[in-house]
Amino acid sequence: MTESPARPSGEPRPLLEEDIAPVLARLDAWYAAHLPPEKYAFNPPATDAQIDAFEQVVGIAMPRSWRQFYKWHDGENDDRRGHIYGLPILPLEQAARDWQQWQKTLAEFGGNRYPVPGAGWPEGAVDPAYVNPKWIPLTNDGSSGNIGLDFDPWPGGRVGQVILFGRDEDVKVVLAESLGCFLEWIAGLLEGGNFRLGVAPGEQVLREFRLKDPPVDHFHEGARMLLGAPGQFI
């Protein structure tokens, strides 16, 4: 076991109140123009009852933007043809199961969030824990690597920021200060032509939908490089 790191003094910036309808419309337009609908299929919108049930499970009142997001679509079910550069947006039921699995992991470590060395980037913005019960999964890469919302940021961060965390993500990374900002970033990358959908003859990839620059196959790695963040391991 490792000792809990000293949390810096101060309070994080408050949650951003956002209307993400405009960026969802941009994503709808891009997806319709570029992704074959027979391969890339969203689930129907989540109901208020499903959203409320999820909030009961995680014990957090989710922000308006997140509720808008799941009223847009309740995620998707294909783990290789996801809409976030090949990463699937988790349906609420799966997101709840992922969150619960992380709580089991935390219990196995006796409630210690820091059983292995970790770090955060930017420094002082995100808890360098292995697991934090206020991290809410949004995507899963199939290897316990998540993009998610952080409701327990360190003072250099913002409540509701979007982060990388997971089993092999020793260095937690802030991707954007809110869900809306994250989706704006993704939309801007796509509209700017930073994507690949084809596979070269003989090329073997887990997910066809990838970044063009940097030319990596895993969005987590590419996101770190785009932001100038350190690699995943300490």
As a whole number, the mean pLDDT across the chain is 97
Q: How many CB atoms lie within 10 A of CB 180?
A: 26
Question: Does the N-terminal peptide bond of residue 122 adopt cis geometry, omega within 30 degrees of 0?
Answer: yes
Q: Tell me the percentage of the chain whose pLDDT exceeds 70.
A: 99
pTM, entire model? 0.98
The strands making up 119-121's β-sheet, listed across from edge to edge, are 119-121, 171-176, 161-166, 145-150, 135-140
Query: Could you tell me which residues are beta bridge partners of residue 161?
Result: 150
Four-residue CA torsion sign, 77, 38, 73, 144? positive
Band of pLDDT at residue 3, cut at 50, 70 and 90: confident
pLDDT tens sequence across 116-169: 999 999 999 999 999 999 999 999 999 999 999 999 999 999 999 999 999 999
Q: Is the model's pLDDT at 1 over the cut of 60?
A: no
Binned at pLDDT 50, 70 and 90, residue 198 comes out as: confident
Distance, in Å, from the CA atom of 33 to the CA atom of 81, rounded to the nearest integer, reads 16
In sequence order, what are the beta bridge partners of 135? Answer: 150
**What are 57-71's pLDDT values in tens digits?**
999 999 999 999 999
- The arithmetic mean of pLDDT across residues 190-195, rounded, is 98
Average pLDDT over residues 177-201: 97
Q: Is the pLDDT of residue 2 over 90?
A: no
**Distance, CA of 90 to chain centre:** 10
DSSP letters for 83-113: TBTBBPBPPHHHHHHHHHHHHHHHHHTTT-S
Amino acid at 60: I
Domains of the chain: 21-193 (3.40.1580.10)
- Gap between the Cα atoms of 230 and 55, Å rounded: 33
CA dist., res. 117 & res. 130, Å (int): 8
Strands 145-150 and 161-166, by their bridges, are antiparallel
Mean pLDDT (whole number) for 35-41 = 96
The pLDDT of residue 49 is: 98
Report the candidate in 156, 167, 104, 164 with the shortest Cα–Cα distance to residue 139. 164
Q: What angle do CA 188, 192, 193 make, to 5 degrees?
A: 125
Query: Angle 48-58/64-72 helices, nearest 10 degrees?
Result: 130
